[in-house]
Structure 1
Amino acid sequence: MDRVVESRALSMRTKIAIGGAVLLALALLFYFFAPSAGSQTIGADRVKISQVTRGAFEDFIPLRARVTPLVTVYLDAIEGGRVEQVLVEDGASVVKGQPLAILSNAELQLSVLARQTEVTQQLNSMRSQELALAQTRVANERAVLEAETAARKAQRQYSREAALAERGFVAAKTFADTRDEYDYQRRRVAVLRQGQATDERLQASQLAQLRASADSLESSLALARANLDALNLRAPVTGQLSGFSIELGQSLSPGERIGQIDSPGRNKLVAGVDEFYLGRVEPGQRAVIDWGGKRYQAKVAKIYPQVQNGQFQVDLQFIGAEPADIQRGQTLQARLTLGDPAPATLIPNGAFYNETGGNWVFVVTPDGSSAVKRQVRLGRRNAEMIEVLEGLDPGERVITSPYTGFADKDRLDLTE
């Protein structure tokens, strides 16, 4: 006989329960094994891991310094003109006052001659005025002398007639005339002396003005002659001539730059320093230059605080002897010392600093499986090491290679 076979299929409720359990298991697996949004997996061979150490921090910065003459004097054509002769060649050693070239300027020469003639005429006119004043002074002195002589004669005549008039031997009219003549001569002498004094004061003032005008004209004439002499170009200092490339027949404009003279055997170094050190570089700080197996000392002589392309310029001046075989434009390696060595916690300098600004680093866990972002405080740095002020202990390891591509993560999973 046929019988009914019972079905053993799972019920719908059971199927739903099993499906939910599977989904929950998958979600848990994904939660534990899938990378989080704040982490990233990266190969350990793609990053550079350095150890935090304890040691002496040497506060220096390396510099690429360019050799430049210590003193440079530029040559300009004071007066324009046509080049008639070139007496020296570019690169020659010259001494102060040595002729370099001769120019010609017909217009300037005619102008100087006209000025010289005008000044000469004015000087002659003033000398004539001085002569006239001197003659007037002599005439005044002669008139006073004549008046004094006449007054003395009148006095003697008055004295003689006074005694005779008392006895009645001289007529009253005659004696009165003699007395009047004596009074006139006395008053005449007084008036002439007063006029002479007034003339002396006026003449002294006028002579002072004439002499001042004469000095001014002489200075003007000397300046005109100096302008004419400026057509003969001379070396203002002793040194090596460079950039001197004028040609015969060339026309030069007033003030045109025609070359320069560099101080012989004396050089300085010009170096660019990262703007990060602008507040720490000071005049007088020492630098060391290794060249030709010898070490030379230099100091910061001048700081140019203008920042261009992230750098500012400093001048380094040699202390004592300088290398004998260096040439202008040559580049030397220098180490500028900013402070004395001091014990500190250190990490190697790396490209990570440019991306973090020294505010945080990735610290590798003791087992080396991951690296975690940590806030730190870094201090001074040189080309090799960075001083750690807070956040790291000796023996820990940090990633010092660039953080490009994962700088926004909080944790890195390191794989072999």
Structure 2
Amino acid sequence: MDRVIQKKKWSTKRILTIVGIVGVAALIFGAWYFTSGNSKLNVDTDRITISEVKKGPYKDLIPVNGIVLPITSIYLDATEGGRVEEKYVEDGAMMKKGQPILKLSNTNLQLSLVNQETSVYNLLTQMQISRNAAQQNTVNKLNQMTDVESQLTEAERLYKLNKHLYEQKAIGSQEFKTSENNYNYLKQKKQLTNKILQQDSASNQQQLEQAKQSYAGSQNALSVMRKKVGDLVVRAPVDGQLTALDAEIGQNKREGERLGQIDVLSGFKVRVDIDEHYISRVFIGLAGTFSFAGKDYKLKITKVFTQVTGSRFQVDMQFEGAVPQGIRRGQTLQILLALSDETTAILVPKGGFYQQTGGNWIYKLNESGTIAYKTEIRLGRQNPDYYEVLEGLKPGDKVVTSSYENYGTMQELVLKKP
């Protein structure tokens, strides 16, 4: 007897067909989902850094490096050239003012000193001879004056006597005229002798002054020459530490050549290199801070060197308040230099996001913290810790500040906890 065979509702062919249709629909839906809206990427929250935007105090700080130097350094240059004969101390020695450091020899200079001394002694001898001659000449003139005065006195007596006798008709006019002429002659001779004596005295005085000036000039020249010879012994100009001594026995040093320097250890300063980009914003009085041995210290700019070398310029900073114990010359300090006073601003912590966005946008979290979406922003100043936010964010917003290197052009990040 024949039996009716019932047809299967879920045949293999039918199942495969349905699966295919569902797959195609899923592909179509996926394509529509990812192309019709914002591109999205799933991100684990433990692999990113989420920071909160806040409003707080802001200082425009830049990190710079400084080298500790003595507050004063005095260079030692060879005042006179010569050969190094002796070294009394070595590099690094503590010096007292006037203490000898090394000795140079210069035969030509020493010979010049001998010649100058001989010249001064010869001039002194010549001055003595001239003075003796002037004194002898003055004595002769005074003797002549004495003779004339004596003759004039006798002639005046005889003239007055003959005048009285002539008036009494006791002598003739010829005898009277002779005595009168002799008297007048001797008066004129006395006047002339006195004038010559005055001129001779003035001339002698002038010659004496000129001789004194010439001798004084020679003495000054001799003093200068002795000082030049004395400078062959190089001495410490102040108390301090001898550093960078560059001289060996037998070495020839030219005039003006650098021999070393004396560091005055009464205090320290810090020489800082700064990028030329900030040259218009750096001036005397700006402050900086640094940490040393777990403590913070303050510095202040006291001098700005405006010369730019290798795209950098330098400033000198001095310690404000306490100086760190144990600090040494040549140490490098990492300083935060404040380019402005403290202000209040909206701040976002610094992070790797800036390298991909240039500060033009950032991923901002929604209120539930499940999605971070691309948001345009505008940043202003920056310091080592924060960027100043000018537009696009407000205090309390949460943003992704870690690197965006792997996110490409994604518009949204779907945040998932692992």
Specify if TM > 0.5: yes
1:167 to 1:74, Cα distance in 2 relative to 1, 3 A:
same
List 4+ stretches of structure 1 deviating above 6 A: 39-49, 351-357, 397-406
TM-score normalised per structure 1: 0.75
Q: Which moved more, 1:290-299 or 1:257-266?
A: 290-299
Does the 8 Å CA contact 1:287/1:335 hold for their aligned counterparts? yes
Q: Which residue does the alignment assign to 2:280?
A: 279
1:145 to 1:54, Cα distance in 2 relative to 1, 3 A:
farther
- Within-5 A mapping of 1:43-122: 52-122=53-123
Distance 2:312 2:349 in 1: 23
SS in 2 for 1:266: strand
Q: Which residue does the alignment assign to 2:374?
A: 371
Q: Which residue does the alignment assign to 1:362?
A: 361
Q: Which residue does the alignment assign to 2:157?
A: 156
Distance 1:40 1:191 in 2: 129
1:301 to 1:151, Cα distance in 2 relative to 1, 3 A:
farther
Distance 1:399 1:89 in 2: 60
SS in 1 for 2:326: coil
Distance 1:398 1:131 in 2: 106
Instruction: For residues 117-169 of structure 1, give each alpha carbon's deviation from its aligned partner in whole angstroms, at most 9, with x where no partner exists.
Output: 23322333234334433444444444444434433443333233322221122
Does the 8 Å CA contact 1:151/1:186 hold for their aligned counterparts? yes
Q: Provide the aligned C-alpha RMSD in A.
A: 3.8
Amino acid corresponding to residue 191 of structure 2 in structure 1: A
1:33 to 1:168, Cα distance in 2 relative to 1, 3 A:
farther
Deviation for aligned residue 1:327? 1.6
Deviation for aligned residue 1:208? 2.9
1:337 to 1:137, Cα distance in 2 relative to 1, 3 A:
farther
1:370 to 1:288, Cα distance in 2 relative to 1, 3 A:
closer
Distance 2:354 2:170 in 1: 133
1:94 to 1:187, Cα distance in 2 relative to 1, 3 A:
same
Unpaired stretches in structure 1, ≥5 consecutive residues = 1-25
- Within-5 A mapping of 1:299-314: 299-314=300-315
Amino acid corresponding to residue 411 of structure 2 in structure 1: D
Amino acid corresponding to residue 361 of structure 1 in structure 2: N
Deviation for aligned residue 1:339? 4.0
Q: Which residue does the alignment assign to 1:195?
A: 196
Q: Which residue does the alignment assign to 1:206?
A: 207
- Give the share of equivalent positions with the same residue, in percent: 35
Amino acid corresponding to residue 215 of structure 1 in structure 2: A
Does the 8 Å CA contact 1:95/1:235 hold for their aligned counterparts? yes
Does the 8 Å CA contact 2:364/2:400 hold for their aligned counterparts? no
Deviation for aligned residue 1:173? 1.8
Query: What is the aligned length?
Result: 378
1:387 to 1:372, Cα distance in 2 relative to 1, 3 A:
closer
SS in 2 for 1:66: strand
1:293 to 1:377, Cα distance in 2 relative to 1, 3 A:
closer
SS in 1 for 2:194: helix
Distance 1:121 1:256 in 2: 36
Does the 8 Å CA contact 2:379/2:387 hold for their aligned counterparts? no
1:174 to 1:56, Cα distance in 2 relative to 1, 3 A:
same
TM-score normalised per structure 2: 0.75
Does the 8 Å CA contact 1:362/1:399 hold for their aligned counterparts? no
Deviation for aligned residue 1:340? 3.4
Instruction: For residues 204-250 of structure 1, give each alpha carbon's deviation from its aligned partner in whole angstroms, at most 9, with x where no partner exists.
Output: 44333322221211111112222222222222221111222533333
1:403 to 1:259, Cα distance in 2 relative to 1, 3 A:
farther
Deviation for aligned residue 1:326? 1.6
